[in-house]
Structure 1
Amino acid sequence: MGRIPGRTQDGGPEVAFRFTPAAGSVRPAGIDWSPAVTASPLRVALYVPALAGGGAERAAAVLASGFREAGCRVRLFVDFDAPENRGFLDPGVTVTALGRGHGAAVRALAGHLRAGRGDPAARLDVVLAVGGAANVKLTLARLLARASVPVVLSYHGRSDVGRGLLGGLAFRLAPVLTRLAARSVCVSQALAHHLVEEWRGAAARIAVIPNAVPVEAALPAADAAALLARPPVILSVGRLAPEKEFPTLIRAFARLPGEPRLVILGEGPERAALEALAGSLGLGDRVALPGYAASPWPAYAGARVFALSSRSEGFGNVVVEALASGLPVVATDCGGPREILDDGRHGALVPVGDEAALAAALAEALARPGEPGPRRDRAARYATARVVADYLALFGGVGHGGLSSSPGPA
């Protein structure tokens, strides 16, 4: 079992790696966590290939906006413009398109990192990569630029979920990447263990900070009676891709008595197969796949229960969104959701791929949705301001001697 040094929120001694939900992060030892005192705002840049439809991409937009709200000067580098998550981005964030193609993007990004050496106005205090491909490309750009700006990488999903060539390289090169970076962030304890134990990431240079979720935008149910008064709608949200295991959810739904409805928000390559499966089970118009929703909050507000059927989740933004909306959550025990649900205290956990267990838990939640208040309280732990504060603490260590911008020991 790998061990990741950390300190509790009250500054206690080094402990075995653990997730501290109230603080939202595990903080590596040896860092000055006091807020940085600077004469000018912190200049933060984020790099994500595009603000396309996905959890990591949404996290990038929300984080950039949160840094802006916290008083930072924020730049967002993207390879190309994409509209899906642009609505989550504060208009005050400067967006720079680097150009399509990995090589072009790396060279352009290196130019921006290099520019700070001769132009104080262009200098960056820290750059955060969001996602596996961004981790690889930002590291290459920094090496190409021979820049001293500290780089923080972030991992948002496991290696066994389709990540593309560069996303896979982010894990295969983890022993090198996590030592070249000032720090690498994992969005859950489970993902950090995966990175360290299976891919030999540098444990001492890894922190856990969950995704920021704009829970303040939720439209929560008032109480249990209000939930029970809603139509029996089960909502799920995610890309229509194999790792989300929507066939298991549809088969579980087919076992339920009565006439509930299932709504799956998202788009992806599995659409035709899922529609065919629903038709073959005779579910007719009781299963709806309305596509991607830039703002899912109204859909949560119209549902009685939320379901997640994934085989693997690095974190699970949608679980937090459901809790913020006051919905009972039924989720497969696939990584991040266990931590969000606090080992099942705030929602039901069922084995991955077990449609009978999933159906039983959904039936129970439909019949007895319970009080939304404790769920909203749990979701507040992942509010943007809290997560941004953890990142700013990490960045403060970058600039004040607590965090080296050059390779260090494991």
Structure 2
Amino acid sequence: MTPTHRKPTVTIVVSHLVPVLGIERAALDLAAELVTHADVTFVCLGDDAPRAERLWADVSVLGTPLRGRQRLASLWRARRLRGLSTDAVVLAGPWAAIPSLAALGRKPGMRVIVWEHSFDSEKLASSRSLRLLRTAARRLYGRADAVVAVSSSLARDLDGWLHLPVVTVIPNIVALPASGERESVPAAAEQPEPISQLVSIGSLTTTKNHQLAIRALLHLPEDVSLDILGDGPLRASLEALIVELGLKGRVHLRGYVQDAVSDMTPGTILVHPALGETFGLVLFEAASRHCPVVVLDRSAMRDAVPTFVPGARTEDDPAAFAAAITAVAAAPPSADEFAAADELRRLHYDSSRITSAWSDMLLGSSHHRRPEA
């Protein structure tokens, strides 16, 4: 008889899968690519089980959703991971990695990878909770077999305080055109249209900095409106700011919208005033729709815009942000510029190369390979 080879197993541990934000989207996209190489399962430390199970067939949910200080309960829930039987485990983000590493320790025969998405220096400066998590990460990340960062800028920041022999850079998987083909998107107008619609996507937190986009409206024509897609702890304070500035008819807090970028059409400008980003997946999604972006000149956004994502970078100032929006609207990227960026993303973020790097990291012997990002 011909011997059969067991398919290797990979478990991705996440804080949650619902709602699907940056880390969750990246994890689901990676799992979808890895299934050709391994049996992939998810473990959620806290989630809405029925909704999580609709996102991935093989998922274990260890308890109800955890938010804010409730997340401390993940330290106790993670002890159930000691019973894991898998060839490799990926700990996605610090809220999954820190409790899991505290519970797991070193387990013979199981490779443990920290997949780091969070500790950008700019984000740390604006988030006390991240700074507290960094203290724990400094103690615990060394227990993993390897640490993977989603961008070179994040790897540089980690190198500054983590002091590990190597942090491997493997970028996130992004939507790409096939070789030689352009993205299938609605055609943009031949002549630039006046600014009318701005969209900002992200959680309502200090780091996402939506107040900057709101204040920028004071420097733009009165017919310009802003839709903010996302939810979070700053909703009430942003609502108060909108009223205070007299912008109630121009700014709309739409709440969380799944696949928000899919409804954007060329001519819409994605404004992304985040104080820091480790990758900026939403920027790449906007580029796939041929929508220009306006971002701050910081962290991973500095590497992405405009080379891979057409648009403009600017400063953390309402007038400067508004001026960048006006400039992009007056001279939007051309079809050729979008096509060139499409091709660069296809070459640089090729999913087969990214999947191969992950396969080597998780299952192969090339544990210290460092693909460019």
Short-chain TM bin: 0.7 to 0.9
Superposition pairs for residues 205-354 of structure 1, below 5 Å?
205-214=166-175, 220-225=185-190, 228=192, 232-301=196-265, 304-341=268-305, 346-351=310-315, 353-354=316-317
Instruction: Please tell me whether the aligned partners of residues 311 and 332 of structure 1 are also in contact (alpha carbons under 8 angstroms).
Output: yes
Q: Find out whether 1:201 has 2:169 as its counterpart.
A: no
Instruction: Please tell me whether the aligned partners of residues 129 and 135 of structure 1 are also in contact (alpha carbons under 8 angstroms).
Output: yes
Shift of 1:343: 6.1
- Choose the corresponding residue for 2:356, options 392, 399, 407: 392
Judging changes above 3 Å, is the alpha-carbon distance between structure 1 residues 374 and 343 closer, same or farther for their aligned structure 2 residues? closer
Instruction: Please tell me whether the aligned partners of residues 330 and 362 of structure 1 are also in contact (alpha carbons under 8 angstroms).
Output: yes
Q: Secondary structure of 1:242's partner?
A: coil
- Choose the corresponding residue for 1:106, options 78, 82, 98: 78
Shift of 1:180: 2.7
Distance (whole Å) between structure 1 residues aligned to residue 276 and residue 350 of structure 2: 25
Q: Secondary structure of 2:125's partner?
A: coil
Judging changes above 3 Å, is the alpha-carbon distance between structure 1 residues 125 and 155 closer, same or farther for their aligned structure 2 residues? same
Distance (whole Å) between structure 2 residues aligned to residue 402 and residue 360 of structure 1: 47
Instruction: Please tell me whether the aligned partners of residues 41 and 73 of structure 1 are also in contact (alpha carbons under 8 angstroms).
Output: yes
Judging changes above 3 Å, is the alpha-carbon distance between structure 1 residues 398 and 231 closer, same or farther for their aligned structure 2 residues? closer
- Choose the corresponding residue for 2:103, options 141, 164, 169: 141
Shift of 1:104: 3.5
Distance (whole Å) between structure 2 residues aligned to residue 180 and residue 78 of structure 1: 21
Instruction: Please tell me whether the aligned partners of residues 223 and 373 of structure 1 are also in contact (alpha carbons under 8 angstroms).
Output: no
Distance (whole Å) between structure 1 residues aligned to residue 205 and residue 322 of structure 2: 21
RMSD: 3.2
Q: Find out whether 1:77 has 2:43 as its counterpart.
A: yes
Instruction: Please tell me whether the aligned partners of residues 155 and 187 of structure 1 are also in contact (alpha carbons under 8 angstroms).
Output: yes
Name which of structure 1's ranges 77-86 and 317-326 shifts more when overlaid on structure 2.
77-86
Instruction: Please tell me whether the aligned partners of residues 76 and 96 of structure 1 are also in contact (alpha carbons under 8 angstroms).
Output: yes
Shift of 1:130: 0.6
Q: Deviations over 1:292-316 (max 9, x none)?
A: 0012134423762111111111111
Q: Find out whether 1:125 has 2:87 as its counterpart.
A: yes
Judging changes above 3 Å, is the alpha-carbon distance between structure 1 residues 133 and 307 closer, same or farther for their aligned structure 2 residues? same
Percent identical residues: 28
What is the aligned partner in structure 2 of residue 42 from structure 1?
A: 8
Name which of structure 1's ranges 183-192 and 52-61 shifts more when overlaid on structure 2.
52-61
Distance (whole Å) between structure 1 residues aligned to residue 272 and residue 352 of structure 2: 26
What is the aligned partner in structure 2 of residue 62 from structure 1?
A: 29
Q: Deviations over 1:10-64 (max 9, x none)?
A: xxxxxxxxxxxxxxxxxxxxxxxxxxxx944332210001113331122222222
Q: Secondary structure of 2:249's partner?
A: helix
Shift of 1:387: 4.3
Judging changes above 3 Å, is the alpha-carbon distance between structure 1 residues 99 and 86 closer, same or farther for their aligned structure 2 residues? closer
Distance (whole Å) between structure 1 residues aligned to residue 125 and residue 346 of structure 2: 25
1:132 partner letter: P
1:146 partner letter: K
What is the aligned partner in structure 2 of residue 121 from structure 1?
A: none
Name which of structure 1's ranges 77-86 and 240-249 shifts more when overlaid on structure 2.
77-86
Output the TM-score relative to the length of structure 1: 0.74
Output the TM-score relative to the length of structure 2: 0.81
Q: Secondary structure of 2:147's partner?
A: strand
1:311 partner letter: L
Judging changes above 3 Å, is the alpha-carbon distance between structure 1 residues 285 and 383 closer, same or farther for their aligned structure 2 residues? farther
Superposition pairs for residues 181-196 of structure 1, below 5 Å?
181-196=144-159
Judging changes above 3 Å, is the alpha-carbon distance between structure 1 residues 398 and 246 closer, same or farther for their aligned structure 2 residues? closer
Higher relative CO (CA 8 A, sep ≥ 6), structure 1 or 2?
Answer: 1
Shift of 1:176: 4.9
Q: Find out whether 1:366 has 2:338 as its counterpart.
A: no
Judging changes above 3 Å, is the alpha-carbon distance between structure 1 residues 372 and 316 closer, same or farther for their aligned structure 2 residues? farther
Distance (whole Å) between structure 2 residues aligned to residue 363 and residue 375 of structure 1: 19
**Gaps spanning 5+ residues in structure 1: where?**
1-37, 117-123, 405-410
Instruction: Please tell me whether the aligned partners of residues 139 and 177 of structure 1 are also in contact (alpha carbons under 8 angstroms).
Output: yes
Judging changes above 3 Å, is the alpha-carbon distance between structure 1 residues 385 and 365 closer, same or farther for their aligned structure 2 residues? closer
**Gaps spanning 5+ residues in structure 2: where?**
65-72, 178-182, 369-373
1:155 partner letter: E
Distance (whole Å) between structure 2 residues aligned to residue 191 and residue 339 of structure 1: 11
Aligned length, in residue pairs: 346
1:240 partner letter: L
Distance (whole Å) between structure 1 residues aligned to residue 364 and residue 94 of structure 2: 27
